[in-house]
Structure 1
Amino acid sequence: MRWDQQEQQTSIHTTDEAVRQCRALVLEYANQGDYRGAIALLDQLIAEYPNSAMDYNNRGLMYFRLGDYDRANRDYDQAIALDTRLDSAYNNRANCAVAQGKLGEAIADYQIALDFNPGNLHAWINQGITYRDLGLYDLAIENFDLVLVLGSRLKGRVYGERGRTYHLRGDWNLAIADYQRAINYLSPSFSSRRYSKQVERWRDELLNPTLTA
């Protein structure tokens, strides 16, 4: 599971209360899964503020969640053209590349995101998962180790992904330890509960292979 990034800050050019409310409504629609409703609002914002990289990035994310990768990529490209240092847009474009099977392009975009913002934990994790998908387990583990050094946020997720990497590399004792750490750290939120279930399935796959055969 890779993490995308929706920009939520308010541009210096958009201090109007109605615009702030519109952006808040975009986030609400997105959280509810109403991506087309969010796109309709973002269309209005982009028409009024055509130089807002944030709005293009967010609309690209909505298209991505709808599976419309061509439109998503066009919006990410426009966001980057408007703000070449917008690390979240590179991260999101990389996720889109992964969905299209372009793992090499994804690695490159994750790296650009990290060059601009070394504190982007989502990009570190996403790049690590992509390294793992390429069979580059040592590089993946280096990414996950670095996230653990950078801070405690997302620890449950990192332990889960590092555990899966150890699992696939054949380091089963390390994998079991990380799976348990992940379960212990994950919060009780709905999304974390779903991820915790995934970690439990990975752990059970390792401990009871006959159950998943």
Structure 2
Amino acid sequence: MQSLFIKNDSTNVKYYYNRALLYKEIQDYKSALKDFNKSAKLYPNELAIYYYRGATYDRLGEYDKAILDFTKVLELNPEFEWALFDRGMMYFTTKAYAKAEVDFKKALELKPNWTLPLTNLGKVYLEQNKFDEAIAHFKVAINSDSKNYLAYQNLGYTYFSQKEYDLAIENYSKAIDLFPKYYNAIRSRADAKKEKGDLDGFCEDVKLAAKLGDLKAINYLKTSNDCGI
């Protein structure tokens, strides 16, 4: 229908914008991008166009362009916390950790105790081996949202990095309790159990992760005889 509307009226921005959102919904990101570009030319000061085009660039792996669009959104509305969070994620993905830290902190100023930037601030510090800061932020994220399984997973990994395997297992287990099919946490718990010398527990978790579709666990079972397969 949107294509028909465009055929009858090629100057109406809402038709291109609506069709772009539909293309994005079906993961046809290149077609979505074309319509977002047309929308931006017709209506250059509409925040939503740049925000969703930025998300589309993200899906296409064009992170620098996504950053430009999220920056444009923030020029139009400096207090749009989601644009700060999403730009922070792009900076994190491109390893611009200092810039990511600034954006996540600004997002938290606008929306205190928001678990997403809290968790990702922890990841920023973890990537820089600032373990104490990482642990503190993951714990605050969990206090803000007790069902934040990603924070538990990352907290577990932080402890694992410091060879505190019991604490790692404890937090991986909490992530798994919240999301029983979270095979990343199951495989991570397997690694911690292996470091403790618990081969039976290691094999149990590797087999479970493989059953849930984890490719690393599947490959391990194919190439190693440790677990009797």
Q: Same fold (TM over 0.5)?
A: yes
1:197 Cα deviation (Å)? 3.5
Unaligned 5+ segments in structure 1 are 1-17, 187-195, 209-213
Query: Which structure ranks higher in relative contact order (CA pairs < 8 Å, sequence separation ≥ 6)?
Result: 1
2:86 counterpart of 1:58: yes
**Equivalent-residue separation in structure 1 for 2:222 and 2:84 (angstroms):** 42
Given the superposition, is the C-alpha separation of residues 92 and 174 from structure 1 closer, same or farther in structure 2, using an over 3 Å criterion?
Answer: same
2:188 maps to: 161
1:83 maps to: 111
Tell me which amino acid in the other structure corresponds to 1:102: K
**Equivalent-residue separation in structure 2 for 1:134 and 1:49 (angstroms):** 41
**Equivalent-residue separation in structure 1 for 2:124 and 2:67 (angstroms):** 17
1:178 maps to: 205
CA contact (8 A) 2:126 2:134 kept: yes
Tell me which amino acid in the other structure corresponds to 2:186: Y
**TM-score normalized by structure 2?**
0.72
CA contact (8 A) 2:156 2:167 kept: yes
**Equivalent-residue separation in structure 1 for 2:47 and 2:181 (angstroms):** 31
Q: Aligned to 1:67, what secondary structure does the other structure show?
A: coil
Q: Aligned to 1:119, what secondary structure does the other structure show?
A: coil
Q: Aligned to 1:101, what secondary structure does the other structure show?
A: coil
TM-superposition CA deviations, 1:126-161 (whole Å, max 9, x none): 11111111111111111122222223352x222111
1:21 Cα deviation (Å)? 4.5
TM-superposition CA deviations, 1:59-94 (whole Å, max 9, x none): 111011111111111111111111112111011111
- Identity of aligned pairs, percent? 24
1:37 Cα deviation (Å)? 1.0
2:226 counterpart of 1:198: no
**TM-score normalized by structure 1?**
0.78
1:4 maps to: none
Moved >6 Å (runs of 4+): none
Q: Select the structure of larger CA radius of gyration.
A: 2
Unaligned 5+ segments in structure 2 are 1-45
CA contact (8 A) 1:164 1:202 kept: no
2:76 maps to: 48
Give the alignment's Cα RMSD to 1 decimal. 2.0
**Equivalent-residue separation in structure 2 for 1:203 and 1:141 (angstroms):** 21
